Structure 1
Amino acid sequence: MGDTAGLVEHYKGLVIGDETTLVVRGASVREVVDALGGVPLADVPEDELDGEEPVWAAYRLTAIEGGVLACEDTGYADPPNSVLVALSEGGRAAAVARDNIQAHCRFGCARDGELLFDDDEYRFLEDRSSVPEEIRALFDLAWVDLGQDESEAQEDDTNAVGLAMAEVITGIRLTPADAARLEGDDATVVAVRQLQYADEEHPAT
């Protein structure tokens, strides 16, 4: 998968996803849609999707080599941990990277039905002992030490760092071809309810 710096550079140069990007190894598009609770856009009232206080967000999903790539453009419909765990069962793996308009940069991941890590603002995590060793070097690039007055992240592109960590967890390297498939006419588009993650009670990380 390459060295840490090279991995981040790969994702800096890749225009993919929106506010939330979900990568799942070993699943089908149908399985991911069902896990997310996705419904056809036509079944959702227009004001609940595009109104002043939307209830739903539009997800685009596509099959890629090894699994599924899914994205949504609000940063408020990222999957709760229960969905990540369900999608990772049976030898699969799932990871989500999110950066919403409030600059809440989340990274969460699960493998083999077990939640490995999740934090809603991972770059400001005070206790890094919960960070899996396999992604620690990447995590540290975006981390800000709040205990130090002049601490700054080595890497400001949290999306690139998040996608790099997702690759380590899932084993799937996203490519320009994947990005093109996601934006293509064959991509699956569904509506998913917002704030499912926020409504879920999260275990301490």
Structure 2
Amino acid sequence: MLDRSPAQPTPTEAPSPAVPTFESPELDDTLLQANLSALNAADRALADHHLGAPLGEGTWVFAAPMTVEEARLRLLGPDPQPASQRDFMREDLSAYTFLQVGRGVLAWEPWGFADPPRRLLAELSRDGATSAVVTDNIESMTRFGYARDGHVVFDAHEYAFVDSIDEIPAEVRDLARLAWNDLTGPLVETSDYAAVGLAMAEKVTGVRADPAVLDVSGKENWFVVPTPWGGGEDD
């Protein structure tokens, strides 16, 4: 029999709501370009090198003049524990490797959360040496600090966000301006915090962050440190 009942509308799915998208606003780089232009030739060369060759996450420790053996002893003590493959999988441990770079030493750990406490930064610089530390990690926490002859000159776990640029020593202040955020002013473009930190570390120690230290193949000559190192003693 012919069905003469009213036709039923075909159900349709309600259109999915549009997913809002977020695009970072394009920030004004006028001040950044002015700060770059104002650098002296030596500082500009440091900035150009490090801003053009980012090295990724990790903790970078510098010391000069010094040998690897001296730096390892000052940082880790007389009997450092060699790292095993399993140690690299633990959340409470990290490991450092050391590289001779000219008259100085570069030490590196891959996560950026095992930076040495201030007392060891000072210890590394005793007897006329200079030491520095720079961190970069997944949480974008960028420490820069340095010490001379056993005394910390400057150290901030978020150096790019100090209240005043004048808190940063004059010898590295012009470089620091490239990354510093003036929280009382408008949001503007800045340079990469870690790259600027590495430029400042090179300026005070004379040691360049050599990418050769990033070669982790084999995991030989690595030494265990706790994460965090120092148990938060600098908090």
Does the 8 A contact of 1:9 with 1:160 survive in 2? Answer: no
| Per-residue deviation, residues 14-61 of structure 1 (Å, max 9, x unmatched) | 45474111111122222322333242114x9x3x5413xx21102121
CA distance in 2, matches of 1:2, 1:144: 24
Paired-residue identity, %: 35
CA distance in 2, matches of 1:75, 1:179: 16
Q: SS of the counterpart of 1:142?
A: coil
Q: SS of the counterpart of 2:73?
A: helix
Question: How far is 1:113 from its partner?
Answer: 1.2
Does the 8 A contact of 2:117 with 2:234 survive in 1? Answer: no
Does the 8 A contact of 1:17 with 1:179 survive in 2? Answer: no
Match of 2:159 in 1: 122
Match of 2:4 in 1: none
1:19 corresponds to 2:58: yes
1:73 corresponds to 2:115: no
1:7 corresponds to 2:46: yes
Match of 2:147 in 1: 110
CA distance in 2, matches of 1:63, 1:31: 11
Does the 8 A contact of 1:143 with 1:153 survive in 2? Answer: no
Match of 1:180 in 2: 212
Q: Choose between structure 1 and 2 for higher RCO, CA contacts under 8 A separated by at least 6 residues.
A: 1
Change (3 A) 1:23 1:62: same
1:160 corresponds to 2:195: yes
Question: Which one has a bigger Cα radius of gyration?
Answer: 2
Of 182, 192, 197, 2:225 maps to: 192
Q: What TM-score do the two structures reach when normalised by structure 1?
A: 0.82
Of 83, 86, 91, 1:41 maps to: 83
Unaligned runs of 5+ in 2: 1-39
CA distance in 2, matches of 1:72, 1:86: 19
Does the 8 A contact of 2:67 with 2:103 survive in 1? Answer: no
Q: What TM-score do the two structures reach when normalised by structure 2?
A: 0.73
CA distance in 2, matches of 1:188, 1:49: 13
Change (3 A) 1:99 1:68: same
Of 95, 100, 110, 1:58 maps to: 95
Change (3 A) 1:126 1:80: same
Does the 8 A contact of 1:49 with 1:55 survive in 2? Answer: no
| Per-residue deviation, residues 66-101 of structure 1 (Å, max 9, x unmatched) | 111111111111111111101111110001110121
Give RMSD over aligned pairs.
2.5
CA distance in 2, matches of 1:112, 1:100: 28
Moved more, 2-11 or 100-109: 2-11
Does the 8 A contact of 2:61 with 2:134 survive in 1? Answer: yes
1:169 corresponds to 2:204: yes
1:31 corresponds to 2:70: yes
Q: SS of the counterpart of 1:97?
A: strand
